[in-house]
Chains A and B, each alone.
Chain A
Amino acid sequence: MPTNRKYYRPYIGPCDPCPPIRVKSYETPPQLYLGFQPYGLKQFDPSTALRKGTLWPALYAPYTNPYEPREEEE
Chain B
Amino acid sequence: MSKTLSEEFYRLMEQLQEVDFVLVELTLYLDTHPEDYDAIKQFNEFAQKSMVLKQQIETKYGPLQQYGNSYSGYPWNWDQPPWPWQM
A interface residue numbers (CB < 8 A to B): 36-37, 39-40, 46-47, 49-50, 54-56
Q: Given A47-B18, A49-B18, answer yes or no on A54-B33 (Cβ-Cβ < 8 Å).
A: no
Q: Name the prevailing secondary structure of the A interface residues.
A: loop
Q: What's the least CB distance linking A59 to chain B, in Å?
A: 10
Query: How big is the B interface, by class?
Result: 10 to 19
Q: Name the prevailing secondary structure of the B interface residues.
A: helix
Nearest-CB residue, chain A, relative to B22: A46
How many angstroms from the CA of A56 to the CA of B26 in the assembled complex?
10
For B29, the chain A residues whose CB sits under 8 A away are 37, 55
For A55, the chain B residues whose CB sits under 8 A away are 21-22, 25-26, 29
Given A39, A46, A49, which contacts B33 in the complex, CB threshold below 8 Å?
A39
For A40, the chain B residues whose CB sits under 8 A away are 36, 38
Given A36, A39, A50, which contacts B21 in the complex, CB threshold below 8 Å?
A50
Q: Which of B41-67 contact A (CB under 8 A)?
A: none
